[in-house]
Amino acid sequence: MTKKRVGILCGGQSVEHEVSLQSAKNIVEAIDKQKYEVVLIAIDKQGGWHLNNTSDFLINTNFPSLSSLNKSNTSNIVLVFSASKRLSLYQTFIKCSKKKLLLLDIIFPILHGPLGEDGCIQGLLRLMNIPFVGSDILGSAINMDKDCTKRLLRDAGIKVTPWVCITKTERPYINVEELVDRFGLPLFIKPVNQGSSIGVSKVDTIEMFNTSLELAFSFDSKIIIEKNIQGREIECAILGNAFPQASPCGEIIAKDAFYSYKTKYINPDDVQLVIPAVINDAVSQKIRSVAIKAFRILECTGMARVDIFLTETGDIIVNEVNTLPGFTDVSMYPKLWQVAGISYRDLITRLLELAEEYHQHKYNIRTSI
């Protein structure tokens, strides 16, 4: 059997660069080597693209200590578009400085954060006409923008956390007292276009407000201020294209004030992951149904992790939808599917298959009248 060549794209110009490297490490180790040949492509924080050796691309591999990219044994690369291969094979080229050409069949972009899961890299790959794992341009852009996500879900009748969106130019006109009267304390302040709880603050007092605003605006030009929801934090993984499936539900129980970046990746012992979540079948099914509905409304394909609050009164409130969830040792997305009986290796295979399926269905279209 001829192996397909998979380009694993990792790193990136975001504060989630290190998390992406760890996700890539896990994928490289778990991918089915009988079916796939791996080509590791890393983007450094300055935007440079590197062809990496899969065995030593990390300087530090002791996760959760954050690793950095090893560029000592890499080749700079450029992408070369090949029109002759475009329609028949859905392939593209990578050309390295040694003049070696590598033909790729599919890309697994495990780039977290801005420029990685916001539609930017998806647009590039779409122009190159190569299949890639995860949501397309529109779905990626929608879900990266928390304000846009909430508006679409709300208008479709799905409950979301009450919020207000504020741009940096509007900051001088913020009325703190009015917002506290509206949402109460504590409340949350978040950058709109970040993941992994980066730049997020739980504001317990009015005195914390300006410092939290400063932090959020340091990561984005647009922020949201949200009402604090008293409820259990439930996560559900979605897998599929036109007919997506939902995993069993998992629950996050954090010892900290909230499920922060530090808790997720630096001190994972400060959080308990309960998989499957201890909830009755009827509630579990309802959550999974809401998660699938959100997946479809938000133009997701391939995979997503839907984060939900379950209140004491039984309300199901969608918090966020992540189209490129982490694949690290502590990440919920692969763990949820493992409980469902899908191994890490089989999950990667299925995602690659879904990417090719979507590409062939969506982009086998006429370009002439």
Claim to verify: residue 204 and residue 119 sit in the same structural domain: no
Say whether 319 counts as a known binding-site residue: yes
What's the number of domains the chain is made of?
3
Which domain-ending residue is among 207, 227, 247? 227
CATH number of 356's domain? 3.30.470.20
Maximum C-alpha span of the chain: 66
In Å, how far are 80, 195, 265, 332 from 271, measured between CA atoms? 45, 18, 10, 12
In a domain, 366, yes or no: no
Claim to verify: residue 201 and residue 264 sit in the same structural domain: no
In a domain, 369, yes or no: no
Place of tokens 């846009």: 148
In a domain, 14, yes or no: yes
Claim to verify: residue 214 and residue 235 sit in the same structural domain: no
In a domain, 260, yes or no: yes
Which domain-ending residue is among 180, 205, 227? 227
Claim to verify: residue 260 and residue 304 sit in the same structural domain: yes
108, 358, 122: which is closest to 241 by C-alpha?
358
Claim to verify: residue 153 and residue 290 sit in the same structural domain: yes
Claim to verify: residue 148 and residue 185 sit in the same structural domain: no
Among 13-22, 37-46, 152-161, 359-368, name the one with the lowest average pLDDT: 359-368
CB 163 within 8 A of CB 224: yes
Reported as a single tens digit per residue, the pLDDT across 94-146 is 665 555 667 888 999 999 888 889 999 999 998 888 899 999 999 999 999 99
Claim to verify: residue 56 and residue 149 sit in the same structural domain: no
Say whether 258 counts as a known binding-site residue: no
In a domain, 123, yes or no: yes
CATH number of 203's domain? 3.30.1490.20
Q: Give the phi and the psi of residue 57 in degrees, each rounded to 5.
A: -85, -10
Cα-trace Rg, the chain: 21
Residue 188 has pLDDT above 90, yes or no: yes
Claim to verify: residue 100 and residue 207 sit in the same structural domain: no
In Å, how far are 16, 34, 90, 146, 324 from 51, measured between CA atoms? 20, 22, 21, 33, 22
Which domain-ending residue is among 86, 113, 132? 132
Which among 75-89, 194-208, 348-362 has the top mean pLDDT?
Answer: 348-362
Q: State the pLDDT confidence band at 330, using cuts at 50, 70 and 90.
A: confident
- Return the SS3 of 90: coil
Say whether 353 counts as a known binding-site residue: no
For the chain, give the mean pLDDT: 86
CB 184 within 8 A of CB 228: yes
Angle CA 236–220–303, to nearest 5:
25
Reported as a single tens digit per residue, the pLDDT across 261-314 is 555 555 566 778 999 999 999 999 999 999 999 999 999 999 999 999 999 999
In a domain, 293, yes or no: yes
Say whether 314 counts as a known binding-site residue: no
In this predicted model, which residue has the larger pLDDT, 284 or 366? 284
Q: What would the mean pLDDT of 26-47 be, rounded to a whole number?
A: 92
Q: Please report the pLDDT score of residue 80 as a whole number.
A: 67
Reported as a single tens digit per residue, the pLDDT across 160-171 is 999 999 999 999
In a domain, 365, yes or no: no
Catalytic residue IDs: 16, 196, 331
Claim to verify: residue 127 and residue 174 sit in the same structural domain: no
In a domain, 367, yes or no: no
Claim to verify: residue 332 and residue 256 sit in the same structural domain: yes
Say whether 45 counts as a known binding-site residue: no
Place of tokens 């697994």: 108
In Å, how far are 104, 106, 276 from 351, measured between CA atoms? 16, 11, 22
Claim to verify: residue 237 and residue 346 sit in the same structural domain: yes
Q: Which domain holds residue 188?
A: 163-227
Claim to verify: residue 258 and residue 351 sit in the same structural domain: yes
